[in-house]
Amino acid sequence: MRRIFFIAMALFAIGLLPSCLSPKKLYYFHDQQVTKHQLDSVEQSAHLIIQKGNRLHITVTSPDPSVTAYLNPYNMSGSGSANQQSMSGFLVSQDGTITFPMVGDLEVAGLNTVEASKLLSEKLAVFYKDVFVNIIINGRVYFLNGRSGQVVQLSNERLTIFEGLTQMGIQDPYDIKDKVWLVREENGQREYAQLNLNSKEIFTSPYYYLHNNDLVYVKPSRMSSFLSPNSPLRNILTISGVALTLFLILRTR
């Protein structure tokens, strides 16, 4: 009888483990206070810089769309998976150029998308009147958390790390949030940064906004799989604990 009692109490204690964990390890930016900050604390208006190997989606429009339709071979407005769309577009070669209809080779590496759009508009003005050029980078960000991975499409140039985490859909509340690794490759260099998502300092970090091909690794804790609300083992232990408790109650009657 005593042995069953101790087993039941052990299972009950396991079920209470999540409440014993420090909130600092569970919650995002727990040290943030209710306040306001100017958005210039991070380079909010910065545009992504075009790198060698990037793919660019370029749209050229004019008062007569039929005239410039030839210049839009990679129109992504139609159907197709996100992966297919990310692999379409004008590839920036290793010499930093793209080959564009009517223009030929155009050097765009090192420019942001606004500068590249302006440059291409000037080149096309020789052949067309009143053309408008829009360029975006077909980018992707990769997320790993030790159990699975997810690719998030960089559909705009202002994807924050929290937006990316929300979209990836593979989070665990017990993952280690104060030691998140971010790997970034730019200008021929590879950077390794460690981020603390629990702290408000993340909002002023140069890695708050994600760049094309960033790799984010959220390390699972030893308790992640065990204490997760969706963990089968936790559910089994909870049910077993309840069953044992009921058994003891009925036996003492």
Q: What is the pLDDT of residues 62-71, one digit of tens each?
A: 888 888 888 8
**What gap in Å lies between CA 109 and CA 178, rounded to an integer?**
35
| Average pLDDT for the chain | 77
* Domain match, 71 and 17 both: no
- Domain boundary among the residues 121, 137, 153 is at 137
Q: How many domains does the chain have?
A: 3
Does 239 reside within a domain?
yes
pLDDT above 80 for 47: no
pTM (two decimals): 0.65
Closest to 114 (Cα-Cα) out of 168, 45, 175, 210: 45
**Mean local confidence (pLDDT), 106-113:** 93
Residue 50 falls inside a structural domain: no
| Bridge partner list, 191 | 184
Same domain, 217 and 181: yes
3-state secondary structure of 181: strand
What sign has the CA pseudo-torsion 168, 82, 112, 45? negative
Alpha helices in 111-204 (DSSP H): 113-124, 161-168
| Domain finish residue from 118, 137, 156 | 137
* Whether 193 and 244 share a structural domain: no
Structure tokens at 164: 């990316």
What was the pLDDT predicted at 8?
A: 53
113 and 71, same domain (yes or no): yes
Between CA 169 and CA 181 the distance in angstroms is: 18
The top-scoring range by mean pLDDT among 7-16, 85-94, 192-201, 237-246 is 192-201
Cross-strand bridge partners of residue 183 = 192, 215
Determine the average pLDDT of the residues in 146-161.
Answer: 80
Domain check: are 130 and 145 in the same one?
A: no
Is residue 149's pLDDT more than 90?
Answer: no
For residues 38 and 160, state if they share a domain: yes
At 22, list the tokens: 């420090």
Q: Would you give the DSSP letter of residue 147?
A: S
To 5 degrees, how large is the angle CA 181–CA 183–CA 187?
155
pLDDT tens, residue by residue, 162-221: 988 888 775 667 778 889 999 998 878 899 999 998 888 888 898 999 988 899 998 887
Write out the residue range of the structural domain in which residue 62 sits: 55-137
pLDDT at 23 over 60: no
Q: Are residues 171 and 232 located together in one domain of the fold?
A: no
The CATH number that applies at residue 86 is 3.30.1950.10
Question: For residues 123 and 99, what is the distance between their CA atoms, to the nearest angstrom?
Answer: 13
Same domain, 40 and 143: yes
Residue type, 138: N
* Residue 97 and residue 118 share a domain: yes
